[in-house]
Amino acid sequence: MEIEKLEIYDFLKKCHPLDKLSEAQLTELAQSIEISYFRRSQEVFKPETNNEYLYLIRSGAVERTDDSHGLVAKFTEKDFFGHRALERGGTIKKFVHAVEDSLFYMIPGHLYFKLMKENKAFLSYFHQEKNKRLRSAINEIHAHDRNILDSTSVRELLHTDILILPPETSIQETAIRMSSDNKTAAIIMQNNQIVGIVTDRVFCTKVVANTLDSGTPVATIMSQNLISVTPENTGLDAMLIMARNNIRHLPVVENQQLLGVLTATDLIHHQSYNPIYAINEIHKATEISQLVLLCKTLPQTLCKLVDAGMRAHDISYSISSVGRAVAQRLLKMAEKKFGPSPVDYAFVVAGSLARNDQTVHSDQDNGIILSDDYNENEHGEYFKNLAQFVSDGLNQCGYVYCPGDVMATNTQWRQPYSVWKSYFHKWIFTPKPKALMYSSIFFDMRCIYGNRKLLDDLHDEIHEMITKNKLFITYMAANAQQNTPPLGIFRRFVLEKHGEEDKSLNMKKRGIMPCTDMARVFALDAGINQINTRERLKQAHECKIISKEAKNDLLDAFDFLCLIRLKHQAGQIKQGKEANNHVSPEELSSLERRHLKDAFEIIRTYQDVLSNRYTQGRM
CA separation for the pair 230, 152 (Å, rounded): 13
Res. 260: pLDDT tops 50: yes
Asked if residue 147 is part of any domain, the answer here is no
Q: Mean of the per-residue pLDDT values for the chain?
A: 88
Mean pLDDT of 12-26: 92
Give φ, ψ of 484 to 5 degrees. Answer: -100, 155
Res. 477: pLDDT tops 70: yes
414 shares its domain with 553: no
Which tops the pLDDT comparison, 149 or 372? 372
Asked if residue 314 is part of any domain, the answer here is yes
Predicted confidence band at 373 (pLDDT cuts at 50, 70, 90)? very high
CA separation for the pair 242, 248 (Å, rounded): 6
Mean pLDDT of 470-481: 90
Res. 398: pLDDT tops 80: yes
What pLDDT does 563 receive?
93
What pLDDT does 225 receive?
85
> Hey, is 526 helix, strand or coil?
helix
Written as one string, the DSSP assignment of 423-461 is HHHHHHHS--HHHHHHHHHHTSEEEEEE-HHHHHHHHHH
Asked if residue 134 is part of any domain, the answer here is no
Looking at 269, 294, 312, which one is the last position of a domain? 269
Do 349 and 408 form a contact (C-beta atoms < 8 A)?
Answer: no
Closest to 354 measured CA to CA, from 238, 523, 497: 523
Res. 256: pLDDT tops 90: no
Looking at 426, 450, 469, which one is the last position of a domain? 469
Asked if residue 148 is part of any domain, the answer here is no
pLDDT tens digits, one per residue of 579-589: 999 998 888 87
pLDDT tens digits, one per residue of 234-249: 888 888 888 778 788 9
313 shares its domain with 423: yes
Mean pLDDT of 446-472: 94
Res. 350: pLDDT tops 50: yes
Which tops the pLDDT comparison, 524 or 587? 524
Which tops the pLDDT comparison, 103 or 495? 103
Domain count, the chain: 4
CA separation for the pair 275, 298 (Å, rounded): 9
507 shares its domain with 575: yes
Write the DSSP symbol of residue 286.
-
284 shares its domain with 336: yes
Res. 460: pLDDT tops 90: yes
Which tops the pLDDT comparison, 476 or 585? 476
Do 509 and 581 form a contact (C-beta atoms < 8 A)?
Answer: yes
428 shares its domain with 551: no
455 shares its domain with 323: yes
519 shares its domain with 450: no
Which tops the pLDDT comparison, 151 or 379? 379
Looking at 245, 269, 293, which one is the last position of a domain? 269
Residue type for position 243: A
Asked if residue 141 is part of any domain, the answer here is no
Predicted confidence band at 592 (pLDDT cuts at 50, 70, 90)? confident
Q: Is the dihedral of CA 291, 403, 479, 525 positive or negative?
A: positive
pLDDT tens digits, one per residue of 407-416: 999 999 999 9
Asked if residue 133 is part of any domain, the answer here is no
Give φ, ψ of 76 to 5 degrees. Answer: -125, -165
Do 450 and 344 form a contact (C-beta atoms < 8 A)?
Answer: yes
520 shares its domain with 584: yes
Q: Which helix (H) or strand (E) holds 416?
A: strand 414-416
238 shares its domain with 298: no
Which tops the pLDDT comparison, 141 or 325? 325
440 shares its domain with 547: no
CA separation for the pair 452, 297 (Å, rounded): 30
529 shares its domain with 450: no
Res. 206: pLDDT tops 70: no
CATH number at residue 98: 2.60.120.10
CA separation for the pair 618, 606 (Å, rounded): 12
231 shares its domain with 324: no
CA separation for the pair 162, 251 (Å, rounded): 10
| CA 254 to each of CA 54, 77, 157: distance values in angstroms, whole numbers, following the listed order | 54, 54, 15
pTM as predicted: 0.70
Give φ, ψ of 295 to 5 degrees. Answer: -70, -25
Which tops the pLDDT comparison, 201 or 57? 57
Domain of 18, in residue numbers: 3-128
Asked if residue 423 is part of any domain, the answer here is yes
For the ranges 93-102, 131-140, 184-193, the lowest mean pLDDT is seen at: 131-140
Predicted confidence band at 618 (pLDDT cuts at 50, 70, 90)? very low
Do 353 and 365 form a contact (C-beta atoms < 8 A)?
Answer: yes
Which tops the pLDDT comparison, 146 or 533? 533
Res. 617: pLDDT tops 50: no
Residue type for position 65: T
Res. 229: pLDDT tops 50: yes
Question: What are the helix (H) ranges across 364-432?
Answer: 376-396, 417-429
Which tops the pLDDT comparison, 55 or 549? 55
Asked if residue 367 is part of any domain, the answer here is yes
Closest to 21 measured CA to CA, from 104, 102, 126, 142: 126
